[in-house]
A and B are shown apart, each in its own frame.
Chain A
Amino acid sequence: MDKRLKRILPKVQKPSRYTGGEYNQIIKDKSSVDLRVAFCFPDTYEIGMSNLGMSILYQTMNSLDFVWCERVFAPWGDMYAEMKEAGIPLYALESGDDVKEFDVLAFSIGYEMAYTTVLDMLDMSGIPLRSENRDDLLPVVVAGGSACVNAEPMAPFIDMFLIGEGEEMDNEVLCLLHTAKLEGWGKKQFLTEAAKIQGVYVPSLYDVEYNGDGTVRTYTPHEGVPQKVLKRIVEDLDSSPYPVNPIVPSTEVVHDRVSLELFRGCVRGCRFCQAGYIYRPIRSKKPDTLIRQGIEAVQNTGHEEISLLSLSTSDYRPLSYICDGLLDYCESRSVGLALPSLRADNFSVEIMEKIQKVRKSGLTFAVEGGSQRLRDAINKNVTEEDVLNTCALAFSGGWNTVKLYYMLGLPTETDDDIVGIAEMSEKILHCWRVNAKNKNRGVRITVSTSCFIPKPHSPFQWEAQISQEEYLRRVNLLRSSIKAKNVVYNWHDAETSVIEAALSRGDRRMADVIEEVFRSGGRLDAWTDYFRYERWNEAFRKCGLDRDFYASRERNVSEVLPWDVIDVGVRKSLLIREKERAYRSELSPDCRRNCSACGAAALLKGSKCDE
């Protein structure tokens, strides 16, 4: 270990997150590999090590014998300061080698607030921030992850984006780079060749022109480059790589458990939900594959919990079957089962009772909107009756805490809808009084609201975000409407939401703002400890960009959007239709009752959507 590092580690909080050496880490002989990949997660170790995508791709890339892929995370503030002072550049955990020596920096960008941390990690590595200032083929700076469905705000910094799922695409790119490195290609030659791989978006090969009003006029691809980049998917999840030997952190991380992914995509089509559109089509894993992988992963890690992941776990048809199959193994070994993302229905309570024999955690409902009209407008198929019935069952079964999540500022929301949130909490309280087995223990109902952020590739991608003042007015309205003392109301600050709204629908000019924030000290902006609203506003002013043009401007459906260059497989006409239906508070049936022919099924070659 680096001598300088040895001196600073005893001084920082939780130093084991900066050392590597965990069980199941992959160590290779660096003299026997041709490509070294620094897999960079632009957030802390605890967050990055909880990310299933990172765990999958770490193993996928390392399955190539000419590649050694290592992990890199962003240090917390104390470690950052110590590293700067000691002059230690960013290093990879497995080998401890400087990131600058690597051939590839691969960033996983899952959320917009991580943008400044990407720049920080490049800078800590001593690598120029902008693609145009990196002339050589190596290192190649690539990025993937769900935030890249609008790649434009980060386009000037990243050589190539990998859009969609990486299991196959990443290795195709690494194979091409292998050839390029051995044959001594130039950067331009490699990027032009890579752009032919489906899912690869090389922003420098597209010229953007703007209209006088600041909107995008055109995207012009260079010769031989596709007009639009079609996202990549893995067709068969059963045969696609899943890490049954994931790294076991030696310190506590956010999700310290085995994660099993039941299926990708979602049949629900909630209109505010980006994930519900960008992960289509629906592909499920077979229940026996999941049971086998879950058991193997528990054996290989010693984890005490398995979490079943998906966007809507109740929609996994054989859910009961795999719960039974896993419980058979888990119960005698004190391994717990966790099911986030359950829908508010009776079936969920049955499943919950099955898996929570020992400890009853709280119930959580994402209700999103305060009235049936508004829930219809956003296509959130949850009725008040569903919620009350589920609560009745749960209260009579001994549960006594309920959490309810809502968004304020959804399109078409009125004050009546907001008062409806308070009314619903009262009804749940009443439901507890009627159904609770043991009233002595009391009940706790928590209502949380956040400010709605319109996201690219969702039917609400053209909508205006409400202003911060308006959000606070609505928060106060709700506060004064909630009277019961058993109901606790928490609201998220709107400041981060405003910036996130601007970033998520930004164009390439936004890169200047991101760089300016970074230059004035911004990093780890996803953390309230580090996020400074004023720093962002100041950067917008300095760069001559209008934050509200991006955050709170309603777009016309005919406008060229910065993310139109990315095709996630869902037709724009469907998004327009869904937006129009929202304004009529009209529901769309879920994909299983009536396929909306969104277009995503065309991404499948040999199978059908939701088979």
Chain B
Amino acid sequence: MLTKKISNWMIAGAIILGVAALTPDTVQAQWCETCDSLTAECTSDGPYLNDSCYSGEWGGISFCVSWGRLWCDPRITRAQSTSVGADGALVRERTFASVTSDAPGTPQSTFQHVRDCKNRIVARAYSADEAEDMRRRTESIVI
């Protein structure tokens, strides 16, 4: 009896996990569709302008980033995976990271990354504790 209950719970858990795994793509698409409204919020006196949002221009393309929000631009596609640095991160990540380092409200943000429509990280910031932990974890690596 107990075994059957555990088995049922395992099946239910697997279904929940499966749904959770499928959800991000749907969410991504919705975010991309509503990206214009986010841009409007950033470029005007939107509610996020003085919070953790920043707008600007990169490579002639206007962009809008908001820490913890998705930044959507249909021109970023997987085919552009070419622009990857030796550390395995997108090239534009550094551009955004340096640009947004002066963004108003950034120091207060606790969720410091920006993603594109493919869920790829385009900007990332780490706390001193996070960075130190990463250094400690890679002082010795066993493969």
Instruction: Answer yes or no: are A and B bound together in one complex.
Output: no
B interface residues (Cβ-Cβ under 8 A, vs A): none
A interface residues (Cβ-Cβ under 8 A, vs B): none
